[in-house]
Amino acid sequence: MIGTDIKELNERVQKESAFVDLITMEMHKVIIGQKHMLERLLIGLLSNGHILLEGVPGLAKTLAIKSLANTVKAKFSRIQFTPDLLPADLIGTMIYSQKKEEFVVRKGPLFANFILADEINRSPAKVQSALLEAMQERQVTIGTTTYKLEEPFLVMATQNPIEQEGTYPLPEAQVDRFMLKIVISYPAKEEEKMILRQNISDIASATNAILKPEDILKARNVVREVYLDEKIENYITDIVFASRYPSEYKLKKFEGLIYYGGSPRASINLALAAKAYAFIKRRGYVIPEDIRAVANDVLRHRIGLTYEAEAENITTEDIINEILNTVEVP
- The predicted pLDDT at position 267 comes to 94
Question: Which residues touch 204 (CB under 8 Å, ≥6 apart)?
Answer: none
Calpha distance 173→167 (Å, rounded) = 17
pLDDT at 169 over 80: no
For 250-274, how does the pLDDT look when each residue is reduced to its tens digit (9 = 90+)? 888 888 888 888 889 999 999 999 9
Instruction: Please say whether the beta carbons of 271 and 228 come within 8 A.
Output: yes
State the DSSP code for 13.
Answer: H
Beta-bridge partner residues of 52: 157, 181
Domains of the chain: 32-213 (3.40.50.300), 227-326 (1.10.8.80)
Stronger pLDDT, 166 or 145, i.e. the higher one? 145
Q: How confident is the model at residue 287 (pLDDT cuts 50, 70, 90)?
A: very high
For 93-136, how does the pLDDT look when each residue is reduced to its tens digit (9 = 90+)? 878 777 777 777 788 899 998 898 888 888 888 888 888 888 88
State the DSSP code for 145.
Answer: E
Q: How confident is the model at residue 1 (pLDDT cuts 50, 70, 90)?
A: very low
Instruction: Please say whether the beta carbons of 169 and 121 come within 8 A.
Output: yes
- Kindly report whether the peptide bond that precedes residue 152 is cis, defined as omega within 30 degrees of 0: yes
Three-class SS of 234-277: HHHHHHHHHHHCHHHHCCHHHCCCEEECCCHHHHHHHHHHHHHH
Strand, coil or helix: 76: strand
Q: How confident is the model at residue 276 (pLDDT cuts 50, 70, 90)?
A: very high
- The predicted pLDDT at position 164 comes to 62
Which segments of the chain does DSSP mark as H helices, in order?
Answer: 2-16, 18-30, 35-46, 61-71, 87-91, 125-137, 172-175, 189-200, 213-225, 230-244, 264-280, 288-299, 307-311, 316-326
- The predicted pLDDT at position 286 comes to 92
pLDDT at 85 over 50: yes
For 25-67, how does the pLDDT look when each residue is reduced to its tens digit (9 = 90+)? 888 888 877 788 888 989 999 999 999 988 777 777 778 888 8
- The predicted pLDDT at position 2 comes to 52
State the DSSP code for 29.
Answer: H
- The predicted pLDDT at position 163 comes to 61
